[in-house]
């Protein structure tokens, strides 16, 4: 009874506190969600791009040089481009299923996560997996390729 | 009763503020004020072809909440750039400078598509660590522009205030600052028009030099691809790109994942073409792969700038 009369008396104030808490809670949750996804930064020039020819979804195994290089997966369904979206560049060539840039390709920078995405499967009898990548790219931007062959 | 009304009004304020200013819901025109005007200016400034102003109020980073004649002019450029979707459906051929339903629809569609290229997006990337003595220049926010235009370059290893940005070997912007160590915003110097290699030098060292920029004169029209969805082609097909601003000679077609087609001519200035090589993307997919083609991006560049992106589907 005391609780009920308390609620009645401070009804407006309680509603206000609830709404503010819900707003702040939502914002904090979004920030925590990014942390939970383990979004990490990466950036380097594209040394090579291997087409995952036996993966169900369009997936590429991207090998990057420094500063923060390594092997990353780019899956069209998961990786969101925000700038130029040119992972190939214009001064490379294919060696089998892999596009190799010489001397270096476009720059690729963005964020990746270690907790999402499948691996890179290559066509074979049977299909086989590429070595594990550092993670799956979530957002990425690229530079444009070379503008002239006279670099 | 009055106290409750005031209290509820104060309570609603944060929710109004949280409402995204990118939600365009009203018609805007000369004389209008509001955060949606500021958002519109930011959007227009994200494209070098529709900048509100090059310097001062309304320029990139200095957007205001007032819709004036500069905003109107920039909006007209936007409407005429997307004439087919914004003007022609309502029986117009020239931009009006009024931010009405069709223009609102087009901008909202562009904002929600994956083709955002504004410099703000560059700042959202988590920190990239670099070793001492290493500087990297990765890419500029745009690849062409006239002297005086503000641009941003993204990289790593930039120092707080002693970065020198080189345009080729003879021209530079000195004492450029970087708060984050990963981006530098500066004004394009007054140098002759042309293609320049970009690099950055500071106390940590000197960057790579393969990034480039075309300084334009701001007068000659930049190349533009009109029909950006170029369809599906196969190896050996001829691809014709329709647009404007193509020179009689010395156009370069950049085809991602294939290469450069240099010294391409354009008899009428409105089309260029190339042949898809027989060895393009020599990849074989498993039958269970959901996609059996490649999306390829294409741009045209010449001494007057770089075009927008065209997209091609290469069927295998």
C-beta neighbour count of B279 within 10 angstroms: 10
Q: Is B214 exposed, middle or buried, given 0-12, 13-18 or 19+ CB atoms closer than 10 A?
A: buried
Cite the beta strand spans of chain A per DSSP E: 40-51, 59-68, 70-75, 80-83, 92-95, 98-101, 107-113, 121-122, 128-129, 135-142
What confidence tens digit (pLDDT) does each residue in B266-300 have?
A: 999 999 999 999 999 999 998 888 778 888 999 99
Q: Which two tokens stand for residue A58?
A: 């369009």
pLDDT of residue B208 exceeding 60, the answer is yes
What confidence tens digit (pLDDT) does each residue in B226-245 have?
A: 988 888 999 999 999 999 99
| HSE value, Cβ hemisphere, 13 Å, CA-based, for A79 | 30
Do both B62 and B93 map to the same domain? yes
Task: Give the separation between CA A93 and CA A90, rounded to whole angstroms.
Answer: 9
The domain boundary, picked from B85, B116, B147, lies at B116
As a whole number, mean pLDDT of residues B240-266 equals 95
Number of domains composing chain B: 3
Across chain B, what does the average pLDDT equal? 84
Predicted pLDDT at B112: 55
Do both A32 and A54 map to the same domain? no
With CB atoms and an 8 Å threshold, state whether A68 touches B129.
Answer: yes
What confidence tens digit (pLDDT) does each residue in A31-63 have?
A: 333 444 456 788 899 999 999 999 988 899 999
Number of domains composing chain A: 2
Do both A80 and A13 map to the same domain? no
pTM of the model: 0.67
Q: Kindly state whether residue B58 falls inside one of the protein's structural domains.
A: yes
Under a CB-based contact definition with an 8 Å cutoff, are residues A14 and A7 in contact?
yes
**Residues 9-38 of chain A whose Cβ lies under 8 A from any Cβ of chain B:** 12, 16, 19-20, 23
Question: Could you tell me the pLDDT band of residue A103, with boundaries at 50, 70 and 90?
Answer: confident
Q: Which phi and psi angles does A120 have, rounded to 5°? A: -110, 115
The domain boundary, picked from B81, B116, B151, lies at B116
As a whole number, mean pLDDT of residues A11-33 equals 58
With CB atoms and an 8 Å threshold, state whether A147 touches B301.
Answer: yes
pLDDT of residue B260 exceeding 90, the answer is yes
With CB atoms and an 8 Å threshold, state whether B260 touches A53.
Answer: no
pLDDT of residue B12 exceeding 50, the answer is no
**Residues 242-261 of chain B whose Cβ lies under 8 A from any Cβ of chain A:** 252, 254-260
Do both A91 and A137 map to the same domain? yes
Question: Which of A56-65, A92-101, B50-59 shows the lowest per-residue confidence on average (mean pLDDT)?
Answer: B50-59
Do both A87 and A128 map to the same domain? yes
| HSE value, Cβ hemisphere, 13 Å, CA-based, for B180 | 17
A120 CB neighbours in chain B (<8 A) are: none
Do both A62 and A19 map to the same domain? no
Q: Kindly state whether residue A138 falls inside one of the protein's structural domains.
A: yes
State the residue range of the domain holding A14: 2-36
Predicted pLDDT at B277: 95
* Nearest Cα residue to B27 out of B107, B82, B126, B116: B107
With CB atoms and an 8 Å threshold, state whether B286 touches A58.
Answer: no
Share of chain B above pLDDT 70, in %: 86
| Residue of higher predicted confidence among B222 and A105 | B222
**Residues 167-196 of chain B whose Cβ lies under 8 A from any Cβ of chain A:** 195
Do both B108 and B133 map to the same domain? no
| Cross-chain CB nearest to B286 (options A53, A68, A92) | A53
Question: Which of A80-84, B176-180, B258-262 shows the lowest per-residue confidence on average (mean pLDDT)?
Answer: A80-84
Do both A53 and A121 map to the same domain? yes
CATH of the domain at B303: 2.60.40.10
Under a CB-based contact definition with an 8 Å cutoff, are residues B228 and B311 in contact?
yes
With CB atoms and an 8 Å threshold, state whether B212 touches A19.
Answer: no
Which residues does residue B198 pair with via DSSP β-bridges, in sequence order?
B167
Q: Kindly state whether residue B35 falls inside one of the protein's structural domains.
A: yes
CATH of the domain at B94: 1.10.101.10
Do both A31 and A46 map to the same domain? no
pLDDT of residue B56 exceeding 90, the answer is no
Q: For the stretch B186-200, what's the b/e string if a residue is b when 16 or more beta carbons lie within 10 angstroms of its beta carbon?
A: bebeeeebebbbbbb
Do both A51 and A22 map to the same domain? no
Phi and psi based region of residue B89 (left: phi greater than 0; alpha: psi -120 to 50; beta: remaining): alpha
* Nearest Cα residue to B48 out of B105, B1, B117: B117
Q: What SS3 class is residue A19? A: helix
């Amino acid at each position: 009874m005391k609780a009920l009369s308390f609620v009645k008396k401070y009804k407006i104030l309680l509603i206000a506190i609830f709404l503010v808490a819900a707003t702040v809670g939502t914002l904090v949750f979004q920030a925590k969600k990014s942390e939970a996804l383990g979004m990490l930064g990466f950036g380097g020039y594209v040394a090579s791009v291997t087409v995952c020819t036996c993966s169900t979804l369009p997936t590429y195994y991207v090998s990057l040089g420094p500063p923060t290089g390594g092997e990353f997966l780019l899956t069209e369904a998961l990786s969101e481009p925000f700038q130029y979206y040119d992972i190939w560049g214009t001064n490379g060539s294919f060696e089998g299923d892999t596009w190799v840039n010489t001397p270096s390709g476009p720059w690729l920078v963005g964020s990746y996560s270690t907790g999402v995405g499948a691996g890179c499967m290559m066509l074979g009898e049977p299909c086989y997996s590429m070595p594990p990548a550092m993670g799956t790219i979530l957002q990425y931007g690229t530079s444009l390729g070379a503008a002239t062959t006279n670099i | 009763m009055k106290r409750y009304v005031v209290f509820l009004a104060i309570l609603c304020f944060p929710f109004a503020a949280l409402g995204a200013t990118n939600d365009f819901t009203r018609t805007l025109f000369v004389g209008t004020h509001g955060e949606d005007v500021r958002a519109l200016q930011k959007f227009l400034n994200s494209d070098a072809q529709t900048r509100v102003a090059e310097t001062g109020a309304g320029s990139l980073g200095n957007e205001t909440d007032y819709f004036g004649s500069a905003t109107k002019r920039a909006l007209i450029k936007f409407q005429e750039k997307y004439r087919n979707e914004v003007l022609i459906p309502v029986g117009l051929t020239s931009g009006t400078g009024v931010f009405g339903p069709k223009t609102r629809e087009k901008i909202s569609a562009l904002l929600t598509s994956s083709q955002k290229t504004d410099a703000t997006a560059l700042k959202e990337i988590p920190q990239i660590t670099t070793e001492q003595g290493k500087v990297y220049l990765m890419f500029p926010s745009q690849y062409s522009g006239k002297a005086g235009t503000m641009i941003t370059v993204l990289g790593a290893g930039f120092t707080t205030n002693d970065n020198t940005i080189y345009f080729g070997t003879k021209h530079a912007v000195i004492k450029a600052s970087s708060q984050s160590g990963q981006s530098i915003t500066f004004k394009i110097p007054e140098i002759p028009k042309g293609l320049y290699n970009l690099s950055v030098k500071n106390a940590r060292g000197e960057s790579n030099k393969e990034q480039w920029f075309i300084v334009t004169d701001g007068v000659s029209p930049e190349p533009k691809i009109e029909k950006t969805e170029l369809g599906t082609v196969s190896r050996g097909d001829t691809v014709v790109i329709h647009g404007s601003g193509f020179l009689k000679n010395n156009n370069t077609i950049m085809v991602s994942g294939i290469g450069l087609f240099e010294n391409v001519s354009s008899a009428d200035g409105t089309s260029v073409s190339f042949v898809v090589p027989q060895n393009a993307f020599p990849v074989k997919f498993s039958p269970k792969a959901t996609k059996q083609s490649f999306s390829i991006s294409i741009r045209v560049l010449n001494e007057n700038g770089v075009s927008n992106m065209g997209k091609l589907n290469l069927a295998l």
